Structure 1
Amino acid sequence: MTIESTTPVLEIGGTHVTAALVQQHDDGWTVQDGSLTRLPLDAHASAEVLLGTMARAAHSLGSAHNTRWGVALPGPFDYDHGIGRYQNVGKFETLNGFNVKEDLSARLGPLASTLTFLNDADAFGIGEHALRTPASARLVCITLGTGVGSAFLIDGVPAKTGPGVPPDGCCHLIEFRGQALEDTVSRRAIRRQYMEARGGSEAGSPEQDVHEIAELCRQGDEVAAHVLDSAFTSLGEAIAPYLHCFGAESLIIGGSMAGSWDLVLPAVRDGLTGEEPSLARLPIVRSDRFEEACLIGAAQWVQRQGNS
């Protein structure tokens, strides 16, 4: 592969930053073998620590690339100008109002001729579309982790407006039963609901994480089963009208919670069909290449922006 066809990317989440080189071939995209670096990231750290960690991951890729970076990270963020808008969201708040693009460009120097930012859920959706053969013309991708991410794609391009598209394409902005969807379906919401249903945690006992609650459900914990079924069914109910109006041809779900697919799929399906019976025929697929899709999506977006 040539340097020109090799794009450097960063994928930034609430607990990590991943750097990799993505290569474009005549027949598709791949993450270069051996190029991936994943570093832990504390979303509550100072701006200096956050940017320093991002730069350290980026520098691990060396210089054998086209220097046009794709950077996928969660919102709220001014993706056009590279400025953080993290206010009262419980993560990356030290980057609120901070010019990430300017700072990271300075840290990378000649390794970065451009930095193109995009939402991490959009990167996931773009990558999933690129990796699927054949790909759905109207594809909806949902990420379940710290929060609820989403991408509504038309021919591989994220839609931000239009019939069936939630505000800015973001399902976390959907209001469900009088509150934000993430107050019902998110890591913090599920952990809180389980703790409250158990009558509050005992002093000194650790709060269960979602994967632990899922395992308790499999072991017969009726409280865990009720909490998870309620959360994932609610997700299906909340997004059903949007998927129906959008004309979704396929739904792909990724993120850490998708690891509990045996619990996620039936509940989401019940929620969808309970609201919109026609969605009983909608294909629902678990992403088996979540990180790869995010990285490839970021690289493809760089190319698309450069050609636009």
Structure 2
Amino acid sequence: MRDSVLGIDIGGSHMTAALVNLETRSIVQGTLQREAVDSNDTADNILTCWCKVINQVFDEAEVAEKYIGIAMPGPFDYQNGISLIQDQEKFRSLYQLNLKQELALRLHIKPDQVRFLNDAAGFLQGEVFGGAAREGKRVIGLTLGTGLGSAFLENSVAVDAALWQSPFKNGIAEDYLSTRWFIHRYFQCTGQVVEDVKALAALNSKSPVVAQVFEEFGQHLAEFLSPFIIARQADVVVLGGNIANAHPYFLPALLAKLQEHKIKTTIKIAELKEVASLIGAASCWELLHQSSL
């Protein structure tokens, strides 16, 4: 088994990378790097930036062989490493590029030393591999932030559930389970603009309206989750993303609503935070090793 693998989490405005010890299931101390990336830049500039960070991490610790796992947003051909992102405000210049081959060429490694997985799946894989749902079997993962990410565990492998566009209430799930819902709902109630959920949480103890908004969110989350939990027969749901940091304000309403539906599934808050996806990405090499035994 490979002892250490480079895990990478690619976001629309940054990338985070670190060497992951697959035995301890944790970040190798001193190797974490985070770099701003202009996702609207040219393909050459984006790849140059990625490779710069990758080389910086490998320079921090000697490894016998360079293996890389990358958590990447979709749409994406994860098996072959080809970007299919076309109609989003990010990574348009990478469309139809074989990133596995491009990175291998620039890093002087073989293409089969680079693996990709979906970023939402990477979050859940990380939390199952070394976080809040460690060794879980029937687990659902949600990332709650500017968008809604969702994944479930199938045969020990996290799979993107792509539930963000599921029909929900008068729109889709992401309309009600993202930062923009909080901003819109608070404005509806008060006529005031708030920057984000963190700012809203800071007002919670002073405003009954804010408490009401968080309670509504918790109820929405329960209504959205209930059929998914039942369909997957989930034992655990892991919540991550920036909104999950405000869980003390919406968790009671979420649990109460789930109880109404007679659902006793354990709700856990992510432990690995922003490094969950990169640990999950690195752990794909551990899963590959296990499957070959």
- Alpha carbons 2:8, 2:69 under 8 Å: kept: yes
Secondary structure of the 1:20 match is strand
Q: Deviation digits for residues 136-194 of structure 1, max 9, x if unmatched?
A: 321111111221112211452225xxxxxxxx522213221242211211123333443
Match of 2:36 among 36, 40, 43: 40
Give the whole-Å Cα distance in 1 for the aligned partners of 2:67 and 2:213: 44
Give the deviation of 1:32 after TM superposition: 0.7
Residues 1:260 and 2:227 aligned together:
no
Per the alignment, do residues 192 and 15 of structure 1 end up closer, same or farther by CA in structure 2, a change over 3 Å counting? farther
Residue of structure 1 in register with 2:20 after alignment: 22
Give the whole-Å Cα distance in 2 for the aligned partners of 1:60 and 1:152: 33
Q: Deviation digits for residues 231-288 of structure 1, max 9, x if unmatched?
A: 33212211211101211111111112111121231233244334xx221x22111112
Identity %: 31
What's the TM-score once normalised by structure 1's chain length? 0.82
Match of 1:251 among 228, 231, 237: 237
Output aligned runs, 1:47-66, within 5 Å. 47-62=43-58, 64-65=62-63, 66=65
Match of 2:277 among 294, 298, 302: 294
Residue of structure 2 in register with 1:214 after alignment: 201
Residue of structure 2 in register with 1:78 after alignment: 77
Residues 1:7 and 2:10 aligned together:
no
Match of 1:229 among 210, 215, 219: 215
Give the whole-Å Cα distance in 1 for the aligned partners of 2:39 and 2:249: 28
- Alpha carbons 2:127, 2:271 under 8 Å: kept: no
Secondary structure of the 1:288 match is coil
Q: Deviation digits for residues 91-121 of structure 1, max 9, x if unmatched?
A: 4344333433333333322387521000112
Per the alignment, do residues 245 and 118 of structure 1 end up closer, same or farther by CA in structure 2, a change over 3 Å counting? same
Per the alignment, do residues 218 and 41 of structure 1 end up closer, same or farther by CA in structure 2, a change over 3 Å counting? farther
Residues 1:184 and 2:183 aligned together:
no
What's the TM-score once normalised by structure 2's chain length? 0.85
- Alpha carbons 2:26, 2:130 under 8 Å: kept: no
State the AA in 2 paired with 1:286: I
- Alpha carbons 1:9, 1:20 under 8 Å: kept: yes
Give the whole-Å Cα distance in 2 for the aligned partners of 1:57 and 1:9: 11
- Alpha carbons 1:67, 1:113 under 8 Å: kept: no
Residue of structure 1 in register with 2:162 after alignment: 170
Per the alignment, do residues 9 and 221 of structure 1 end up closer, same or farther by CA in structure 2, a change over 3 Å counting? same
- Alpha carbons 1:235, 1:271 under 8 Å: kept: no
Q: Deviation digits for residues 200-252 of structure 1, max 9, x if unmatched?
A: 75xxxxx5122112212333161x33433333321221121110121111111
- Alpha carbons 1:8, 1:20 under 8 Å: kept: yes
Residue of structure 2 in register with 1:278 after alignment: 262
State the AA in 2 paired with 1:287: A
How many corresponding residue pairs? 287
Give the whole-Å Cα distance in 1 for the aligned partners of 2:134 and 2:271: 16
Give the whole-Å Cα distance in 2 for the aligned partners of 1:193 and 1:91: 27
Per the alignment, do residues 105 and 189 of structure 1 end up closer, same or farther by CA in structure 2, a change over 3 Å counting? farther
Structure 1: runs of 5 or more not aligned: 160-167, 202-206
Secondary structure of the 2:34 match is strand
Give the whole-Å Cα distance in 2 for the aligned partners of 1:13 and 1:261: 23
Structure 2: runs of 5 or more not aligned: none
Per the alignment, do residues 89 and 198 of structure 1 end up closer, same or farther by CA in structure 2, a change over 3 Å counting? farther
